[in-house]
Amino acid sequence: MSEQRQENKMGVMPVGKLLISMSLPMMISMLVQALYNVVDSYFVAKLSQDALNAVSLSFPIQNLLIAVSVGTGVGLNALLSRNLGEKNFEGANQAAGNGLLLGFLSGLVAILVGLTVPRAFFMAQTDIPAIVEQGTAYLTICCTWSMGLFMGIMFERLLQSTGKTFYAMIAQTVGAVTNIIMDPVFIFGLGPFPAMGVAGAAAATVAGQILGALVGFTLNVVFNKEISFRGRYLKPNGKVIGQIYAVGVPSMVLSSVGSVMVFGLNKILIAFTDTATAVFGIYFKLQSFIFMPVFGLNNGMVPIIAYNYGARNRERILQTMKLAVITATAIMLVGIAVAEIFPAQLLGMFEASEEMLTIGVPALRIICTSFAFAGFGIVCGSVFQALGHGVLSMISSIVRQLVVLLPAAWLLSLSGNLNLVWLAFPIAELFSVCLCIVFTRRIVKTVIDPLAQE
């Protein structure tokens, strides 16, 4: 009966109502995630600008961990939902079990990275001792204790794939709130806890991730009856793993490209002043308030599209795509308005100096113009993944961030005018939109339209 109820919700409920019910909990939880990212930097900024830079320069490695975990989760989500749409419940269970196994193995690799990479990574970016020491401590903790990140995302994706996004929201929110509460406690040493400085921000992060993973596991066992957690499903299955990674690897590459872009852009910016890298780090924290709700929308959209692709329902796929694009664009327009009107106030949250305001105000106003195009591209990328064509997302991301954005930023930096460097963002996003339009037309013609004949 539970499988039938799930089929009715994903395949029959009006698309608008379904997308809201699937996405709204995820959008709320993503906003909470964005809040704790900002809170992290808010407290660290009170220590010093070097401390803020240490956290900001850690982003490429942290993003790489998130890329692997989320990419695996995207592949798991698409495969599991598609199997449910096809009423292949054995296949759904195998997808769930192998997804959990891949998450665990990825966590072990992250531990190895944490024990070997952080110091060399920071020394490749800067020779400022305070940044290197604080950044190494921060990144070592984030990597070696990242099992909570990997397993937490897997448990959340299992809940999302079966339509239980409310429970996924609970797991994410518990982790985020824990991080927010423990940030000042660990950073400044409140109560019985010693002051850990930047390392305290990392400790609060991993504490939230571990608790969120434990809550996610519990909610799956108690409420997610569509999936069996028997040991036999945890055995590696080459075909299932291949199907997960067919969608997941392009998603990983897509997100990992962001790490390369940030690393390269930090190298360009620090040639002007280390304040410019601090501004860029703050921008990434602030933009998450706009991008995270769109990612939450996508998390709700992917299982709907994957399920209805499995059920061969063309009209519901197209309706979901159109509604998601409209909603994402509206969210992005709100972001543009806020960044254009209140840039100084946003930077002021991070103890901004006069130099930071001088650099940061025009930076936020220029970069945010790219939001007008970004919503469409993000939704299209998730549609490609849901339909098993994640390589198209990977191509558009590589073109946007490595083929266009980084070279454009470098060329513009040769002018000696820092403000011109920020123009690389809207330039790259415009290229990405054009590419996504071409890819979307191809996907509709070759993948979605043929469903009408079936």
Query: CA nearest 143: which of 66, 80, 84?
Result: 66
Query: Which has more confidence, 321 or 256?
Result: 321
pLDDT score, position 11 = 67
Alpha helix (H) ranges present in 145-164? 147-161
Distance of alpha carbon 358 from alpha carbon 132, whole angstroms: 26
Distances 123 to 130, 230, 268 between C-alpha atoms, Å = 11, 46, 16
What is the tally of helices (H) and strands (E) in the chain?
Answer: 20, 0
Alpha helix (H) ranges present in 271-370? 274-310, 314-341, 343-348, 354-367
Distance of alpha carbon 402 from alpha carbon 253, whole angstroms: 12
Do residues 325 and 385 make contact, with C-beta atoms less than 8 angstroms apart?
no
Is it the case that residue 280 has pLDDT exceeding 90? yes
Query: CA nearest 205: which of 28, 36, 35?
Result: 36
Tens-digit pLDDT profile for residues 179-189? 989 999 999 99
Distance of alpha carbon 394 from alpha carbon 388, whole angstroms: 12
Share of the chain above pLDDT 70, in %: 97
Q: Domain range for residue 297?
A: 2-452
**Domain count for the chain:** 1
Do residues 163 and 82 make contact, with C-beta atoms less than 8 angstroms apart?
no
pLDDT band (50, 70, 90) for residue 307:
confident
Query: Which has more confidence, 442 or 386?
Result: 442
pLDDT score, position 234 = 86
Pseudo-torsion of CA 311, 313, 319, 324, nearest 10°?
Answer: 30
Q: Is the pTM of this model over 0.75?
A: no
pLDDT band (50, 70, 90) for residue 20:
confident
Alpha helix (H) ranges present in 354-446? 354-367, 371-386, 390-398, 406-413, 418-421, 424-443
pLDDT band (50, 70, 90) for residue 60:
confident
Tens-digit pLDDT profile for residues 286-295? 888 888 889 8
